[in-house]
Amino acid sequence: MSSNLSAEAILVAGAGSGIGKAVAELLLDTGYEVINADLDLSAWDNHSPQALLNLKTNLLCESSVHDLADAIASQGIKLGGLVFTVGKAITLPLPNLKPQILDELLHLNTLSFFSLVSKLLNKDLFSATSASLVAISSLVGQTGARGKIAYAASKGALDAGIKSLAMELAAGNIRVNAIAPGTLQTPMLAKLISTIGAEEVEKLAADYPFGLGFPQDIANLVLFLLSLEAKWLTGNLITIDGGFSAR
């Protein structure tokens, strides 16, 4: 393991697919011990190298999150970091946006992150030396997009809360940062195509000087934020969008 890496395990919430899976794979390849958590971890059944633990977890269920924390504690593991990649996007104009949809996105995209961190803190699971928390937000939380009121609101709330959390956890030498990716080529993009059509997605892609990104692009940035090379970074929202916001 490289000298600039944390010696403890990294918990990747949402490791079953997309950005989370790319992050977990890169961390394992780099030498980290990794704990995967997600509702569906079938992609890890025959994966090599193997994670330290694969924990089926429903982050919308308090008892499931409690079981996750207990499982980590029972193994005597301390966390050098948490990468939170769980999220859901819905494209609906305001007249069709029912309150329960907004509640669902706020619960999953925003509140579940803070609830998870709270459980881990209460169990004293973070390293006493240092730890780094990285949450995946979205460019939409900053720029907005048609039909994305609920999604943008949930990500904007996550971004704001992270700044306060960073101030709160600094005394314990825990850093907290968020990454705001532009549009990536993930299963979520396929859902977007089915919602607004391939032609509209092609128009969107044309606004990216370096084209649409890939989960691996985000994983590389996560790796840096977890490392001690980023020891002076906390409370930041880092945009990575292939030049989209520079237009």
Chain Cα centroid distance, residue 19 = 8
Dump pLDDT digits (tens) for 85-132. Answer: 999 988 888 888 899 999 999 999 999 999 999 999 999 999 999 999
pLDDT band for position 247 (50/70/90)? confident
Q: Are 137 and 89 in contact (CB under 8 A)?
A: no
Helix and strand counts by DSSP (H, E) for the chain: 9, 7
Close Cβ partners of 179 (under 8 Å, ≥ 6 residues apart): 134, 135, 136, 137, 218, 221, 222, 225, 237, 238, 240
Geometric angle at alpha carbon 46, from 59 and 65, rounded to 5°: 15
CA-nearest of 131, 122, 113, 143 to 244 is 143
Burial class (CB in 10 A: 0-12, 13-18, 19+), 105: buried
| Domain locations along the chain | 9-183+214-238
pTM for this model (two decimals): 0.91
* 8 A C-beta contact, residue 237 and residue 221: no
- Tell me the CATH architecture of domain 9-183+214-238: 3-Layer(aba) Sandwich (3.40)
Give how far Cα 45 sits from Cα of 49, 54, 186, 187, Å. 11, 9, 21, 20
Q: What is the mean pLDDT of the chain?
A: 91
Residues 6 or more apart in contact with residue 104 via CB below 8 angstroms = 88
Give the pLDDT of residue 199.
76
Whole-angstrom distance, CA of residue 30 vs CA of residue 136: 20
Closest CA to 196 of 121, 89, 106: 89
Model confidence at 185, pLDDT cuts 50, 70, 90, reads confident
Q: pLDDT digit string (tens) for 168-184?
A: 999 999 999 999 999 88
